Structure 1
Amino acid sequence: MTDWTAGDMPRLDGKTVVVTGANSGLGYEGTRAFAAKGAAVVMACRSVERGETAADEIRANAGGEVDGNLDVRECDLASLDSVATFADDLAADYDAIDVLCNNAGVMAIPRSETEDGFETQFGVNHLGHFALTGRLFSLLRDAEGVDGVGPARSAAGSRTESGVARVVTQSSGAHEQGEMDFSDLNWEESYGKWKAYGRSKLSNLLFAYELQHRIDAANREEDAALDVRSVACHPGYSDTNLQMRTAAESGNPLMKVGMKAANALLGQDAAIGVEPMLYAATVDVDGGAYIEPGGLMNMRGHPTVGRSNDASYDRADANRLWEYSTEATGVEYPI
């Protein structure tokens, strides 16, 4: 385990960072940390009102000012139209994006569907971020990127130079319980809320690694120079409102009590839980790296480079998921 903290991040003056789900939990803490280092942070939130409240709170806790700008914008990952509008508006106002943090998500909720008819956990956690990343990829490609600090090694991929844009995709240790079933990706035949969550988090990893494979393949082509790096992470067991939303949507008051007790006894503060995401965004890690807490059972502690389960590195599943996601969202990557 390292002793790396958010204080070890480099200055990010002049950099633009996009964080989904920025108004609460890990997204809030990530936004606060990036802004404290001078980055302009685009807070991509389902509710602009809640986003503005969070931005005001960050400014107030920083003595009325933060080093970087906070730009709150609506982005509902359960709506492909909302994702497209967000991306188009961002492209109109920004020349480049240095870091994209695919952070927002829902966990273990009763079955429902997104605006476009996808099972909500798969639709929000994976497909929404797949579409968002693809629509913002040109802005990432045009960025100067972040000069990563400190040496780090990953379990996948070769070393690349620092000074590249980053796509950081937030997964979960729950990916280990996920299984890909391409005959029923949207859980129309049967549904288990925790199984669906595990699949969505496994999908996050398959996407993150496949994106890096495609970037590497493009860079092997003559005259190609895609200075973009895809990295995955997970926060361990962090005390956020994600668990409380799960409990609230279960309709079981005892679950709310249980989740609250578990967060208090087992959960680490969200300011520590977000460190793997911050590490992935600013440390000189390889494309395809997996950043996780380095403490007890990789569920607590400061970040380190680890390895996700074997299923997450299955290239056949990754390609199949990519093809499905492209068709389902209508988003083609300019790679």
Structure 2
Amino acid sequence: MKWTERDIPEQKGRVAVVTGANTGLGFETARALADHGATVVLAVRDVDKGRQAAARMSGDVTVQELDLTSLESIRAAAADLHGTHTGIDLLINNAGVMNPPKQITRDGFELQFGTNHLGHFAFTGLLLDLLLPVPGSRVVTVSSVAHRIRAAIHFDDLQSERSYSRVAAYGQSKLANLMFTYELQRRLALHGTTISVAAHPGLANTDLMRNSPAVLRVIAPVIAPLISHKPDMGALPTLRAATDPDVRGGQYYGPDGMGEYRGHPKAVESSPESHDRTVQQRLWTVSEDLTGVKFPV
């Protein structure tokens, strides 16, 4: 059977926080959860765009300012959420940047590693106390098929200060997302409530592709219908990871088509590199040091 949005269980009474939810995959994820009764928080950098997105959704949807390139903003957002919610059922780490020119965050991190990994690492750590007491709560972190491309965590040059490759930096950040997911799950397993799961959308036709090489942007209208799918389909692996009652901690969901580029969501395998526990634990320690965020697990 093919899992679809219709398979999402009733979400009434559940609180979901979705980062980057004003457009693309995040929008479709938040919309589907709201349609099924969840109280949804759109955690976005641009509040005006977030409000516009919320106006296109049904149900109980609010907007929370969150700039993942700023640890100050991340701490402020977490404090706001502690003031408005006594518990969180779903934290969906969806926001991301892909293949931009070399840039750094407000805290001096390479933009892709800083946003995609360190920002979500810090945000999760600061909110985890709101998830731990909630039965069935989940942290879902969105990775990418790109975690296999030039895959390595470059501890000797994490911020790409010596050399910068858009593709390699993106691949490192998406590999880090998976390593974070797996190490977090091992720590959560001792508590028996919250689980950590990963997902990837395959190739989804979203604004995330805007920084792709020019040649890809030119041929995209021709090849996109053949190898990619629309954002609502790309969001399904995340939605399944977040809501399917049969999901187990540490699983990874992606499309079931050739190359995992498109299709319906199923449990998939990540690269051998992503399962290196020594690197996972070292990355965790480095991430705590860089962000100043310590987890309660």
2:166 is the counterpart of 1:193: yes
- Which amino acid in 2 is paired with 1:320? R
User: Shift of residue 297 of structure 1?
Assistant: 1.4
For structure 2, the 5+ residue unaligned runs are none
SS at match of 1:239: coil
- Which amino acid in 2 is paired with 1:268? H
Residues 266-277 of structure 1 aligned to structure 2 (within 5 Å): 266-277=227-238
2:126 is the counterpart of 1:135: yes
2:193 is the counterpart of 1:227: yes
CA shift digits 1:28-63 (9 cap, x unpaired): 0001100000000000001001111111122xxxxx
1:179 matched residue in structure 2: 152
In the alignment, the residues of structure 2 paired with residue 112 and residue 131 of structure 1 have an alpha-carbon distance, to the nearest angstrom, of 20
Residues 35-74 of structure 1 aligned to structure 2 (within 5 Å): 35-58=34-57, 66=58, 68-74=59-65
- Range that drifts further, 118-127 or 259-268: 259-268
1:309 matched residue in structure 2: 271
CA shift digits 1:286-305 (9 cap, x unpaired): 11001111112111110111
- Which amino acid in 1 is paired with 2:197? V
For structure 1, the 5+ residue unaligned runs are 59-65, 145-163, 220-224
- Which amino acid in 2 is paired with 1:48? V
Q: 2:224 aligns with which of 257, 263, 273?
A: 263
In the alignment, the residues of structure 1 paired with residue 72 and residue 202 of structure 2 have an alpha-carbon distance, to the nearest angstrom, of 32
Residues 212-223 of structure 1 aligned to structure 2 (within 5 Å): 212-216=185-189, 219=190
In the alignment, the residues of structure 2 paired with residue 185 and residue 86 of structure 1 have an alpha-carbon distance, to the nearest angstrom, of 26
Contact 1:95 1:142 in 2 (8 A): no
Residues 231-250 of structure 1 aligned to structure 2 (within 5 Å): 231-244=197-210, 246-247=211-212
User: Shift of residue 256 of structure 1?
Assistant: 3.5
SS at match of 2:56: helix
- Which amino acid in 2 is paired with 1:301? G
SS at match of 1:268: coil
User: Shift of residue 258 of structure 1?
Assistant: 3.3
1:62 matched residue in structure 2: none
In the alignment, the residues of structure 2 paired with residue 122 and residue 259 of structure 1 have an alpha-carbon distance, to the nearest angstrom, of 26
Q: Which has the higher contact order (CA 8 A, sep 6+)?
A: 1
User: Shift of residue 275 of structure 1?
Assistant: 0.4
2:287 matched residue in structure 1: 325
- Which amino acid in 2 is paired with 1:274? A
In the alignment, the residues of structure 1 paired with residue 56 and residue 252 of structure 2 have an alpha-carbon distance, to the nearest angstrom, of 31
User: Shift of residue 270 of structure 1?
Assistant: 0.7
User: Shift of residue 82 of structure 1?
Assistant: 0.5
SS at match of 2:91: strand
Matched positions, count:
295
TM-score normalised to the size of structure 1? 0.86
User: Shift of residue 264 of structure 1?
Assistant: 4.1
In the alignment, the residues of structure 2 paired with residue 293 and residue 301 of structure 1 have an alpha-carbon distance, to the nearest angstrom, of 5
In the alignment, the residues of structure 2 paired with residue 198 and residue 183 of structure 1 have an alpha-carbon distance, to the nearest angstrom, of 16
In the alignment, the residues of structure 2 paired with residue 143 and residue 215 of structure 1 have an alpha-carbon distance, to the nearest angstrom, of 13
Structure of larger gyration radius: 1
In the alignment, the residues of structure 2 paired with residue 262 and residue 110 of structure 1 have an alpha-carbon distance, to the nearest angstrom, of 24
1:169 matched residue in structure 2: 141
Contact 1:106 1:124 in 2 (8 A): yes
> Once the two structures are aligned, what percentage of the paired residues are identical?
46
User: Shift of residue 181 of structure 1?
Assistant: 1.3
Q: 1:121 aligns with which of 109, 112, 120?
A: 112
In the alignment, the residues of structure 2 paired with residue 308 and residue 175 of structure 1 have an alpha-carbon distance, to the nearest angstrom, of 8
- Which amino acid in 1 is paired with 2:159? N
User: Shift of residue 267 of structure 1?
Assistant: 1.8
In the alignment, the residues of structure 1 paired with residue 134 and residue 52 of structure 2 have an alpha-carbon distance, to the nearest angstrom, of 29
User: Shift of residue 263 of structure 1?
Assistant: 3.2
- Which amino acid in 2 is paired with 1:228? T
TM-score normalised to the size of structure 2? 0.96
User: Shift of residue 266 of structure 1?
Assistant: 2.6
Contact 2:145 2:202 in 1 (8 A): yes
User: Shift of residue 142 of structure 1?
Assistant: 2.2
